[in-house]
Structure 1
Amino acid sequence: MTESRRFADAFSDALDARGVGLSWLRSRLADRGHAVSLASLSYWRSGQREPQREISLEALVVIEELLGLHQGALSSHLRRRGRTGPAPFDDLVGLARQVGRDRGLVGEDEVDRIAFDLVVDVDADRRISQVRVTQVFVAAVDGAAGVTMFVAPGVGTGSTEFEGLTDFATDTVIRAVSGCSVDGVVDIIDGISAARLRFDRPLALGESVVTEIVMCPVTDDSALDSEWGAVAEQRLEQCMVWVRFHPDQLPSRCWVGFQESGLGHEWPVSLAGATGLLHRQTDFGPGLCTARWEW
């Protein structure tokens, strides 16, 4: 067992031993006054992230109690030597695509994704006001009608019940802006859900389309998230993450990183007087481009 997986394994084992799921845990935490998003819990369980912020560490104490553990049973597994880089992601992307195919989701076989641009707006209260995703697709078959876009758990349409989640459990609401509609969101595996995007009309072979969707956090935990990533399920001409901060509220430190072909790297960057954090990769994927910051 590698160190980066120790907390995730302990958390997953504790949930299994208690016989409960993440939705149950999130509801009980909310009853105790701890607003932890389903996405955060899922990231912790899958090993993509660990609790770091003070509010997360406070919630972890309650989680240990709710799962019938002694104090420190989970927190003792947190990494103590600082951040060592992102957890492996390529296998997770491949697994998500395979599970999606097995469940009959429209996917990459009908279209080629050319570009994925993620724009995150942060307001003067350090809250995420909206996340805008623009994608470019080219039809690989005649009559391509849509595509699957992977998103974090807890993302929903705000009106559809799916996989045991209701509007109450939705952390982030997703809405179509142009080029498509959102058919719904389904759970895939820990750490990843899938939004089904339907194009405005079926595409002819070789025809291009640009889709634009907006995601708006509706809970405190999701609105205060300080790490975002763009998932490339296949090779892209461009993958971009652009975080736009309010000029009166700039972060003290920023990092960007990527995971591709079994490799992962993260490095600090300076805003250098700018108000935006930009990370752009070309000829990239499958993999993940990330940007994160601290206040």
Structure 2
Amino acid sequence: MAVPPDVGHEVDVLLRAGPFHAALRAAIERSGLTLERLRDRLDRRGIHVSLSTLSYWRLGRSRPERADSLRAVQAIETILGLPRHSLEALLGPPRPRGRWVTQQRQPRRYGRMLEPAQSLAETVEALVGPSDSDLRLWSQDDAATVDQCGALRSVHTRQVLRAVAGNPDRYLAVYCADAGTPPEALGVEAVRNCRLGRVRRHPGAPVIAAELLFDHTLRAGQTHLLEYRFTIGETGAVAHDHRRAFRYPVGAYVMSVQFTDPRLPVRCYTLAQPGVDAALEHGDELALAPGRVLHLTARDVQPGVLGIGWDWS
């Protein structure tokens, strides 16, 4: 069935600026699918969504928030021939519910994923601004280095961010070091396409947070590539893992850890914490490459923690 040119243009505009329900409605209209046929195609993929739920999403009466609903949105993007994460990026942060509204703020939710949780929340809370909920990670690459004494010395991060609302002009980067690391040993550098704004270290815990300022504000749907690096001074603390926490879904993630002779681990493995309240799990063993590098890759990462752990003996 031929689609009027103005309908195709409307979809492109709504995928950039939203709102979600309008973009979904226009994309379904352009595809020529009925809700029944869309539901059937989801069923074939093992994803079960009721007609009433699809209708509510299309009308803006409700929106996908649970993990299984977000997987349905990702499948809908494929079925309708849309760019990956184009609909998902329009959803914004989960809506506050219950006691969350009055007792908890987003930094504390982040803090529950990593230790020291309370210190992390206290450090991040002072710097969170409107841009925090207006950005999502399109992709991320973390490259950590471990020195000859077994201490973690730096983490270089490359990110592609996407604006999902508003006019974000900065990103908040956070790092938690191993227990026993003095706060003053932590440093941060803006490497590419950003500059340092406010930097806050917790006075008694190894936590640092830094604003990375863009040279322009982003429009909804626009992406921005930046690089930054956290450094850890000589502390003598021996590291046993490196972890990254995610508050929102991420399209693609790569983590690498490079070790320095002569101290090399004897066993290495993946780590995962699938959700805020889940336990940290040990996964598959990883082989140390000839260049003394370990790495893991992941696609369509959901909120939680991913990492690499290792044993020295």
Specify the TM-score bucket, using the shorter chain as the normaliser: 0.5 to 0.7
Distance in structure 2 (CA, Å) of the matches to 1:176 and 1:273: 29
Percent of paired sites with the same residue:
17
Kindly name which structure, 1 or 2, has the bigger radius of gyration based on alpha carbons: 2
Q: CA deviation at 1:268?
A: 5.1
Shift of 1:290: 1.4
Give 2:306's match in structure 1, choosing from 267, 285, 289: 289
1:214 aligns with 2:238: no
Q: 2:297 aligns with which of 256, 263, 280?
A: 280
Q: How do 1:102-181 residues align onto structure 2 when only pairs under 5 Å count?
A: 104-152=128-176, 169-181=183-195
Query: Cα offset for 1:248?
Result: 4.9
Structure 2: gaps (5+ residues): 1-108
Q: Return the offset for 1:97.
A: 7.7
Local SS of the residue matching 2:132 = coil
Asked if structure 2 preserves the Cα contact closer than 8 Å seen for 1:253 and 1:268, the reply is no
How far apart are residue 236 of structure 1 and its match? 0.6
Task: Tell me how many residue pairs correspond in the alignment.
Answer: 193
* Offset from partner CA, 1:47-95 (integer Å, 9 cap, x none): xxxxxxxxxxxxxxxxxxxxxxxxxxxxxxxxxxxxxxxxxx9771599
- Local SS of the residue matching 1:202: coil
* C-alpha contact (below 8 Å) 2:148/2:262 kept by paired residues: yes
1:112 and 1:143 map into 2 onto residues whose CA distance is 13
User: How many Å apart are 1:281 and its aligned residue?
Assistant: 2.1
TM-score (norm 1): 0.55
Report 1 or 2 for greater relative contact order, CA contacts < 8 Å, sequence distance ≥ 6. 1
- Asked if structure 2 preserves the Cα contact closer than 8 Å seen for 1:227 and 1:290, the reply is yes
Aligned with residue 258 of structure 1, among 266, 272, 281: 272
Contact 2:110 2:121 in 1 (8 A): no
Q: Which runs of 4+ in 1 moved over 6 A?
A: 94-99, 188-191
Counterpart in the other structure of 2:246: 232
After superposition, the Cα gap between the structure-2 partners of 1:291 and 1:197, relative to the gap in structure 1 and judged at 3 Å, is same
C-alpha change, 1:130 and 1:150, in structure 2 (3 Å) is: closer
Normalised by the size of structure 2, how large is the TM-score? 0.52
CA separation of 1:170 and 1:237: change in aligned 2, threshold 3 A: same
Q: Which residue of 2 aligns with 1:92?
A: 112
Q: 1:199 to 1:97 in 2, by over 3 A?
A: farther
CA RMSD, Structure 1 to Structure 2 (Å): 3.4
Is residue 185 of structure 1 aligned with residue 202 of structure 2? no
Residue matched to 1:55: none
- Pairing 1:5-84 to 2, within 5 Å after superposition: none
Q: Is contact 1:245–1:276 with CA below 8 Å preserved after alignment?
A: yes
Where is the strand percentage greater, Structure 1 or Structure 2? 1
